Amino acid sequence: MSFLFRLARLSGATLAVAACLQSGPSRAQSREDTLRYVTSGVVNTLDPVMLGATPQATALSTAVYDRLFRFGRKPAGNGSFVFDFGTLEGELAERYEISPDGLTITVRLRANAQWHDGSPVTAEDVKWSLDRAVSAQTMSKAQVATGSLTRPDQFRVVDPQTVEIRLDRPDRLALPNLATTFAPMFNSRLARQHATEADPWATGWLRQNTAAGGAYRIQSLQPGVQTEMIRNETWTNGTKPFFRRVILQTVPEAATRASLVERGDADLAIEIQAEDLKALAASPSVNVVSTPMPSGFAAVIFNTQMPPFDRAGVRQAIALALPYDAIVTAAFGGRGGKLYGADWTGEPSRSDFPQPLPHRTDVEAARRTLAEAGFPAGFETVLSYSVNRATFAEPAASLIQEALARIGVRVRIEKLSDVQMASAVTEKRLPMILERSFALFPSTEYFFRIFMSGPSRWNFASWKNAEVDALLPQARSEPDAARYDAIARRLVAIAAAEVPMAMIVQPSYDVVTARTIKGFTTWYNYYPDLRDLTRE
């Protein structure tokens, strides 16, 4: 039975959306030249780093705004690509140099780079954009600080085409941060015309206007409905995009999005439900692209400051009792990258993270370990998850409850509203949770800094380890790749032994495209870069 036939009840909504996709100025464009992309989210602003900007608004800026750099990409092995964190390419930057002490980054701009209004991109524009990133109350401020970019006096104009960036200490993430959506470059002359004393960074004007020079220009924006873009024919900061026009439309229903692609009324859909992906995989008219998220993870996370999970032995016992394979099958549809079952002991041969850890199901070993930790008769506890994680957490929680009962751990399952869960996680008052998240970068040091150290909300386990805390600053500033890898392997080994979280899987990032669409890339932010796509 085809996917479309199963969704016959939705045909009215599907046809209405298709008509909207085909209406307006885009009608004059050929089917070949127009990319139609449907998503559940909305584009609520044209300022990609505005506080409160939706992920869709921020992601769309990759097509509209240039950055100094972009990441490379490599084949994912499934007909698509995945971003290459280890490769930086110039976007507005023609080249860069790092001083021997790692404290100065000198960036030379492309001589022919232009803004959408035809004016040249200058070092003054870059200086203003970086000043805005570290000064304005936007999403940029916290993110670029993870690369030690924190103050305007770190950025200096050397000449009209050259900018110098000074760091207080070497930081491996300074350059990667400049390749993200959180470091867009603005036409400062245009933006300043709309700045005021109360709004020196033109945040109000930039919400509804662009000061950009990227591969696409905004043609129209209907927040919550549709955004249309046209190709910037004068763009020379990369390979010119295939599509002359892009239509991005908000379609809240996942089944409708999937149906639109299968019937040929849309080219790309994200955020598709697992059961629909299975049906679509058999359709001759679409491609289902599933790639393990390079920096993503789903895990059982323990509150390491709350008894009995303040004992490493208890956490180790739970990790030995979990039914990993069954969870991946039931909760994740068998998709994703397994983060368990590794054969190494001591330290891993790889330095990346997340990576498979040497945890596997062994019920007898779990019972012994739990007894050695002081709980031969087990104990009672609560496993919590939020409503918006229920798709995977509900089946996973039932399997975990059943498995832990075999070693005497009696689990009560607690499903909380998103607001309740957010409050409880912030207050660190839950003993054990099921969670899924991702780091912006697939960097071991960055992952541990965000999720396994300090008082941050994202240190879900409230884990404190003196050796980890001492190693992280060393790793952050270590310029030598071999020494960095040695530190990273040690960090992974400590986490495997101490088990602040029992890692289960790298969730799969799933998209559906028309069969004719090629070049899809899984990026660090898990949204499409529309410049990558072509049509056969």
Question: How high is the pLDDT of residue 5?
Answer: 30
Distance CA 485, CA 303 (A): 28
Distance CA 169, CA 175 (A): 13
Buried b or exposed e, range 476-505, using 16+ CB within 10 angstroms:
bbbeeeeebbbbbbbbbbbbbebbbbbbbb
Does the structure show a pLDDT above 80 at 153?
yes
Contacts of 441 (CB under 8 A, 6+ apart): 85, 173, 176, 295, 447, 524
CATH 3.40.190.10 domain residues, the chain: 1-65+214-291+509-536
Reported confidence tier of residue 6, pLDDT bands at 50, 70, 90: very low
Question: How high is the pLDDT of residue 117?
Answer: 97
Contacts of 202 (CB under 8 A, 6+ apart): 191, 192, 194, 195, 211
Distance CA 527, CA 67 (A): 17
- What is the CATH number that goes with domain 296-506? 3.10.105.10
Average confidence (pLDDT) over 514-533? 95
Is 55 within 8 Å of 525 (Cβ atoms)?
Answer: yes
Distance CA 459, CA 303 (A): 10
Average confidence (pLDDT) over 252-270? 92
Question: How high is the pLDDT of residue 20?
Answer: 53
H-helix or E-strand spanning residue 190: helix 188-192
Residue range 89-132, pLDDT digits in tens:
999 999 999 999 999 999 999 999 999 999 999 999 999 999 99
Which 8-state DSSP code applies to residue 73?
E
Question: How high is the pLDDT of residue 15?
Answer: 43
Reported confidence tier of residue 82, pLDDT bands at 50, 70, 90: very high
Does the structure show a pLDDT above 50 at 156?
yes
H-helix or E-strand spanning residue 218: strand 216-222
Reported confidence tier of residue 278, pLDDT bands at 50, 70, 90: confident
Question: How high is the pLDDT of residue 1?
Answer: 40
Class of domain 1-65+214-291+509-536: alpha beta
CATH of 66-191, one of 3.90.76.10, 3.30.1490.20, 3.30.750.24, 2.30.110.10: 3.90.76.10
CB neighbours (10 Å) of residue 193?
11
Q: What tokens were used for 497?
A: 């032994």
Q: Tell me the percentage of the chain whose pLDDT exceeds 90.
A: 89
Q: Which of 8-17, 123-132, 258-267 has the highest mean pLDDT?
A: 123-132
Distance CA 311, CA 299 (A): 18
Question: How high is the pLDDT of residue 52?
Answer: 92
Q: Output the average pLDDT for the chain.
A: 93
Does the structure show a pLDDT above 80 at 62?
yes
CATH 3.10.105.10 domain residues, the chain: 296-506
CATH 3.90.76.10 domain residues, the chain: 66-191
Q: What tokens were used for 53?
A: 């900007």
Q: What tokens were used for 139?
A: 């999403």
Stronger pLDDT, 441 or 25, i.e. the higher one: 441
Average confidence (pLDDT) over 25-53? 84
**For residue 54, which of 224, 306, 214, 215 has the smallest C-alpha distance?**
224
Reported confidence tier of residue 346, pLDDT bands at 50, 70, 90: very high
Reported confidence tier of residue 26, pLDDT bands at 50, 70, 90: very low
Crossing angle of helices 481-498 and 466-477, rounded to 10°: 160
Is 249 within 8 Å of 21 (Cβ atoms)?
Answer: yes
